[in-house]
Amino acid sequence: MDFGLNETQELIRSSAAEYLSDRSPSDFVRAMATDERGYTDDFWREIGELGWLGLIVSEEHGGSGMDMSDMAVLLAEWGAALAPGPLVESAVVSASAIGNFGSDSQKREWLPTIATGEMVVVPSLVGMDGSTDPGAMGVRASETSNGWVLSGTSRFVPYGNSADLVLMPAETDAGVTVFAVPVKSAEGTVNVNRVKMASGAPACDIELNEVVVPAAAVLGEAGGGADVVGQMMLYGAAARATQMVGAGSAVTDRTIEYVKDRRQFGRPIGAFQVIQHYMADMATKVKSAQHLVNRAAWALSADIDSASASRAVSQAKWTANTLMHDIVWKAHQSHGAIGFTWEHDLHLYTRRVLSWRADFGDSDSHIEILGRTL
């Protein structure tokens, strides 16, 4: 057992904290929340230069060859700073899916540019009904002599209006198959409609009409899409949970500072026992969730069986969903009216934490995954 950071991780933590506090302050977060694309090319290039987009890409393909435990350290800081941009989508979910299921040429072509930030690759994991079951996808593909022809709608694709490639599961005669669709340059009709979401991050409904992609666009085996989707969900859930706990930890710290300063009835409200117990609850919840999300990231890195890793991830996401929800609302209750204003930063956290609950499997789906394995 080791609950500490190694030297590399400590370096990631301190540099991320420092860089993001400088480069992603509240003003930037607010501007990006109403920005059409949700982040800037400058910012993304810098993140790439810092090596963060290639953290878990192999050295052979231009990355650092680190693992999810290392990435978790970055993700916690990323969440704490509410930094914008498709870090989880491109540099974690897509990079790991391509790394694991991609052909040699796919890896050579895509991974190095993911790592630099030149290319953004995002997964499409939401079905027509808003659920994330691979059986619920809205896109169908048929094999023709020209390649595969895709039609249908993918819903709520994160950063779909910036993505160069969307990793898109589709129904085929062979079963669910994942295609890397170059939405900006596809042959055929692609409509990308941005939906205004509570988190401020872009989510897009992408309509494909007779879009043709070559056989080389298939990620993994034709008909083997459920495995690819499964891995994307796993890495996505672990990463998002870690980011959520980072955000919850920052909310807790800020709330503790607030109750020390804010005075009512002649003393700081942090001197009232009920507020003290709220703070103790929040701190205990952060601690509890940190262990489970770190263990999930570790489980995706260490040599343990996949059923155990999957259980660790589902426990982590359910825990992050449940406890961080409690934390943001206790934070609001402790802030009082000021936390109800647009001007105060608290709601920036609230919107994201609540939104992230639905990503990569909601609480219900994860607890049922766990329940079925008992």
Partner 1 sequence: MWFEFNEEEIAFREELKEFLDQELPDGWIGPNDESSDEGWDLYCRMRRKLAERGWLTMTWPKEYGGQEASPMISLLFAEEMSYRRAPGNDRFGTRMLGPTLMVFGTDEQKRKYLSDIAQGGIQWCQGYSEPNTGSDLASLQTFAELRGDEFVINGSKIWTSMAHRADMMFMLVRTDRDAERHAGISFLLLDMKSPGVQVNPIVNIAGAHSFNQVMFDDVRVPLENLVGELNDGWNVAMNLLNFERGNIDYVSWAQRSWEEIRDYAATTRRFDGSLMIDDMKVRRRLAELEAEIEMARYITYEVAWLQSLGHPPSTEASMCKIAATEVNTAVLDFGVELLGLPGLIDDPDEHEDLAGRIFKMRMYQTSGPILAGTNEIQKNIIAYRGLELPRR
> Which residues are at the interface with its own copies (CB under 8 A)?
272-274, 277
Instruction: State the pairing for strand pair 203-213/187-195.
Output: antiparallel
Tell me which of 115, 292, 300, 327 binds partner 1, using CB under 8 A. 292
- Cα-based torsion angle of the residue sequence 77, 81, 86, 89 in order, rounded to the nearest 10 degrees: 40
CB of 370 to partner 1, least distance (A): 4
d(CA 80, CA 249): 7
Backbone phi and psi for residue 66, each to the nearest 5 degrees, phi listed first: -85, 180
CB of 136 to partner 1, least distance (A): 3
Residues in the chain, overall count: 374
How buried is 344 (Cβ within 10 angstroms: 0-12 exposed, 13-18 middle, 19+ buried)? middle
Cα radius of gyration rounded to whole Å, the chain: 21
214 binds, among partner 1, its own copies, none (CB under 5 to 8 A by kind): none
Cα-to-chain-centroid distance, residue 2: 25
Tell me which of 297, 309, 313, 324 binds partner 1, using CB under 8 A. 297
Cα separation values, 14 from 7, 197, 253, Å: 11, 31, 17
Contact predicate 300/224, CB 8 Å? no
130 binds, among its own copies, partner 1, none (CB under 5 to 8 A by kind): partner 1
CB of 369 to partner 1, least distance (A): 8
171: which DSSP letter? Answer: B
Q: Considering the rule CB under 8 A, would residue 267 count as an interface residue with partner 1?
A: yes
CB of 210 to partner 1, least distance (A): 23
User: Binders of partner 1 among 33-72, rule CB under 8 A?
Assistant: 69, 72
Query: In this chain, which stretch among 36-44, 92-100, 192-200, 218-226 interacts with partner 1, using CB under 8 A?
Result: 192-200
Query: In this chain, which stretch among 82-90, 96-104, 214-222, 317-325 interacts with partner 1, using CB under 8 A?
Result: 317-325
Closer residue to partner 1 in complex, CB, 217/297: 297
User: Binders of partner 1 among 113-132, rule CB under 8 A?
Assistant: 126-131
Q: Considering the rule CB under 8 A, would residue 307 count as an interface residue with partner 1?
A: no
